[in-house]
């Protein structure tokens, strides 16, 4: 039985500075509906990617066919394909015309764990279901079809949750990139077992 449905995050949540949205996304609930199946989880790790002034951002060199969604108004989903086999999902931020997105890097599973395991692999341990950006997409059934999708629609949405206590907010450098490694634009829930490891932060 799915848990009660709290309020959907309004568009005004997304149409703000990317770093603010990134930090505030921690703890929020991602809800995915595929037919009758509901998959949900708590966001525990994200990274902010800005526009022109962020050399690690897809939008660094301006608008292209791939990154077009990053320039839309906040509240859309930006999904891209990488390494020949993986998808990653981002929450688009800022107002129309200003690029910005927040990469969803790790999620703590809530509802639909069986559905996640069916997609990820039946023998995958629970803490390996969603501890990475491509794993999150696979578990939640997100792919290129979902690029540009509204986050206030029926298929995928974010719902509100209490603000994370300050002492649980961890801010480190982004991982898995070659440029723009200086800025501490990765946010995660301190000590949460579902956060992707990797972190040699600093």
Partner DNA sequence: CAGTCGATGTACT
Partner DNA sequence: GTACATCGACTGG
Site string for DNA, 11-50 (x = CB under 7 A): ------------------------------------x-x-
Q: Is 56 in the site for DNA (CB under 7 A)?
A: yes
Cβ proximity to DNA, 145 vs 163, nearer residue: 145
Task: Compute the least distance from the CB of residue 196 to DNA, in Å.
Answer: 6
Burial of 131 (0-12, 13-18, 19+ CB in 10 A): buried
Task: Compute the least distance from the CB of residue 169 to DNA, in Å.
Answer: 20
| Alpha carbon distances (Å) from 58 to 87, 93, 135, 151, 184 | 14, 14, 20, 20, 18
Residues 89-108 contacting DNA, CB under 7 A: 90, 101, 103
Task: Compute the least distance from the CB of residue 92 to DNA, in Å.
Answer: 10
Beta carbons of 46 and 26 less than 8 angstroms apart: yes
Residues 130-149 contacting DNA, CB under 7 A: 132-136
- Rounded Cα gap, residues 191 and 170, in angstroms: 9
Q: In the chain, count of helices (H) and strands (E)?
A: 4, 8
Residues 62-91 contacting DNA, CB under 7 A: 64-67, 70, 78, 81-86, 88, 90
Beta carbons of 17 and 94 less than 8 angstroms apart: yes
Cβ proximity to DNA, 5 vs 82, nearer residue: 82
Strands (E), the chain: 29-34, 37-49, 77-82, 86-92, 101-109, 156-159, 169-172, 186-189
Q: Is 202 in the site for DNA (CB under 7 A)?
A: no
Q: Which residues bind DNA (CB under 7 A)?
A: 47, 49, 56-59, 61, 64-67, 70, 78, 81-86, 88, 90, 101, 103, 120-121, 124, 128, 132-136, 175-179, 196-197, 200
């Amino acid at each position: 039985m799915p848990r009660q449905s709290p309020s959907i995050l309004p568009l005004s949540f997304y149409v703000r500075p990317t770093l603010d949205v990134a930090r505030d996304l921690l703890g929020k609930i991602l809800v995915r509906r595929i037919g009758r199946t509901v998959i949900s989880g708590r966001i525990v790790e994200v990274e902010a990617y800005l526009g022109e002034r962020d050399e690690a951002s897809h939008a660094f060199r301006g608008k292209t066919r791939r990154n077009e969604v990053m320039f839309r108004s906040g509240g859309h989903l930006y999904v891209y394909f990488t390494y020949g086999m993986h998808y990653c999902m981002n929450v688009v931020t800022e107002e129309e015309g200003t690029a910005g997105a927040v990469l969803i890097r790790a999620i703590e599973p809530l509802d639909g764990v069986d559905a996640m395991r069916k997609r990820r692999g039946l023998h995958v341990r629970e803490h390996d279901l969603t501890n990475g950006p491509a794993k999150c997409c696979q578990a939640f059934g997100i792919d290129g079809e979902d690029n540009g999708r509204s986050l206030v629609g029926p298929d995928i949405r974010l719902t509100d949750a209490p603000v994370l206590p300050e002492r649980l907010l961890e801010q480190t450098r982004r991982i898995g990139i070659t440029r723009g490694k200086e800025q501490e634009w990765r946010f995660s829930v301190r000590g949460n077992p579902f956060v992707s490891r990797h972190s040699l932060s600093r």
